[in-house]
Amino acid sequence: MLRADNVSFAYGGGFALHDASVAIAPGAITGLLGPNGCGKTTLLKLLCGVLRPQHGRVLLEDRPLESMPRRDLARRVAVVPQETHPAFEYTVLEMTLMGRHPHLGTFELEGPPDLALARAALATTGTEHLADRQYMTLSGGEKQRVVIASALTQATDVLLLDEPTASLDLGYQLDVAAVLARLNREQNVTMVLATHDLNLAAALCHRLVVMREGRVLAQGPCDEVLTHEMVQRLYDVDADVHFHERSGHLMVLPVRRLS
């Protein structure tokens, strides 16, 4: 459904993304892996239409994104950015309700169904008790979960997440992973998730896209892509990659930096 065909993008200077082709499998969780500056965030911004490719096309159901009105696109694809810094002191509930924007008419105000959706999303991310707090007074982990709730309130079938667990402690990392897995399982939400956490990717993702220096090196089922050789190619790190019985997925244990 959502795919990038031979897309390139440069911010000025060199290419951030070069001739990348990625097909996002419907209903699956796809992980974007790669070292810093490899083009993960750029690819996510192209997939949600915030950036437009300078070459190639991004298609949703075979329609180029730039031919779709913003509002229509926002009803299909929601995004959880790395960080969100509002200029004013919105409450958590206000931030969450902003997810309803593409579903409301110009002068329409949120009604009880919108409020119910927002409250449900807050409950899903375990932030219901924060509803009346000011967003800016929350901890990093709370903020991240509220932003996920806001994206859930948008009620899309595609969710793009940029480092959703980067600012979370170990417990919340597992919580967020569980929330995402459940949403994918129960509501069939297609997800694309850029992350540095290889074990999170192994636990959560059905498929992986691995990138380095703006190019896609490989994409495919998680178990096939995430190997000792691939970790070494991506990060110049010697790591043990093996199946872990108790967790039921691959585990990556970095051993040493190769240089």
Residues in contact with another protein by CB under 8 A are 45, 48-50, 69-71, 73-75, 77-79, 81, 84-91, 93-95, 98-99, 101-102, 104, 106-107, 109-111, 115, 131-132, 154
Burial grade of 201 (CB within 10 A; 0-12, 13-18, 19 or more): buried
Beta carbon of residue 91, minimum distance to another protein (angstroms, whole number)? 6
Shorter beta-carbon distance to another protein: residue 70 or 242 = 70
Distance (Å, rounded) from C-alpha 82 to C-alpha 170?
A: 18
Nearest 5°: the CA angle 14, 31, 258 is: 65
Strand order in the sheet with 158-162: 77-80, 158-162, 190-194, 29-33, 207-212, 215-221
Beta carbon of residue 123, minimum distance to another protein (angstroms, whole number)? 14
Name residue, tokens 């750029």. Answer: 42
Beta carbon of residue 98, minimum distance to another protein (angstroms, whole number)? 6
Distance (Å, rounded) from C-alpha 117 to C-alpha 98?
A: 11
Cβ-proximal residues to 29 (8 Å cutoff; 6+ apart), any chain: 180, 181, 184, 190, 191, 192, 193, 204, 205, 206, 207
Shorter beta-carbon distance to another protein: residue 74 or 201 = 74
Shorter beta-carbon distance to another protein: residue 183 or 226 = 183
Distance (Å, rounded) from C-alpha 172 to C-alpha 136?
A: 19
Beta carbon of residue 150, minimum distance to another protein (angstroms, whole number)? 8
Beta carbon of residue 245, minimum distance to another protein (angstroms, whole number)? 40
